[in-house]
Structure 1
C-alpha cells in the first residue's frame, strides 16, 4: 500500500507542477526555470511547450547517467514515460487555465501575483514529486544526482541548477529574438522561490517523506 501511495504522490506532484508552470506562463513576466528553455523554444518554433518539455527531460535523463554512472538506478528509466506524461500535463494545464490568457496584460501587480503563485505551486509539486523517493522527472533527477555526488542539500543544488537553466534560456532567447521572451524577472524570482518552498516543506512537513523512511513496509 505504501509503494502505491508513493507513486500516486509522485503523479499528483507532476500535475501540481504543470499547474505552477501554466500560472507562470500566463504571468507574462517569465516562466519558471524548469520550463524556461521549453517556453523560449515554443515561441521560436511551431512546436508546443509540452513537446520541448519532453525533449529537455530526455536530454537530462542521459545527463544523469553520465553523472551517476554505475550508481544510476535502473528504475529511473521510468523517467522517460514520466517525461511524456509531464509534457502532456503541461499542455493540458495551459489549456485548463486558458481563461487567464490576457488577464495579467498591462497590470504588473497581477503579473507578479501570478508569478509568485506559479512558483509556490511548482515548489509544492517538486516536493511531492521528490520526497516519496520512487522516481523523479529528469530535471529534478539531475539535481538529485548532482546533490548525491557532491553531497550537498537537494534544495541548494536545485536553486543552482534552476539558475543554470535560466542562463541557457536567456542565451537562446537572445539568439532567436535579440530580446528576452519567456525569461524575465519572474524567472529569476522562481529560481530562488521554488527551492525555498521545497526547503521549507522538507523541514516542516513530515508527509509524504515519511512514506520512504526505513520501517515503512511496501506491499
Structure 2
C-alpha cells in the first residue's frame, strides 16, 4: 500500500501547517477537490510554500500535484523542487525538479486544472530532511497560481508475510548416466593370512 508522506496536501484544514509559506494564502474560492487550495500571490516577489519531511528516500517516490492560474493573465515561471538535506540542513542534492513555463497553466475560473507528476531520484547517504517546495516568480502582469492535492507516495510498501508452501511438483525424468570416474589409487597390501592345515601323507614309494 502506497504511503503519502505529505501532510495536509489538499489544504483541507483551511490553514497551512505543516506547510510553511511566504506571500501565499489558503483560499476557499477555488479547489480541485474538497474545499480549499493554496494560492501563491502576485506581489512582485517570489511566492513559495514548502514542507519539511523526515522519511526514508533511498527508494523512489511518486510526486503529484494539481496547479492552475487565476484569471486571464498568464502564469509566471513556476517551479516544483524536492531537495535533500543532512541533519544540519546542509544541501545534499535534488530529488526532482518540475519547471512550469510562463503562460502554460489552465484557468481555475473555468474549472480547469493541470496535474504535474514525477519520480524522485534516491536520496544520497546522510539525508535526514527532504524539502518539497512550490514557488512562482514575482513577475509583473502575471496571475496568481493555485496549488492543490499534493502527494508524495512511496512506490513500494513493506514486504508482506511469506505465503504458505505450495504443493510438491511431479518428479522429473531421470537424467542421463554420468561418465565413469577415474580409477582410484591402489589400496595398501592386506595382512598375511593364517597358516593352512597340514596336508595328508603321500603314498609310500616303490622299494628299490
Would you call these one fold, judging by a TM-score over 0.5?
A: no
TM-score range, shorter chain: under 0.3
Structure number having the greater helix percentage: 1
Higher strand share: 2
Higher RCO (C-alpha under 8 Å, 6+ residues apart): 1
TM-score (norm 1): 0.24
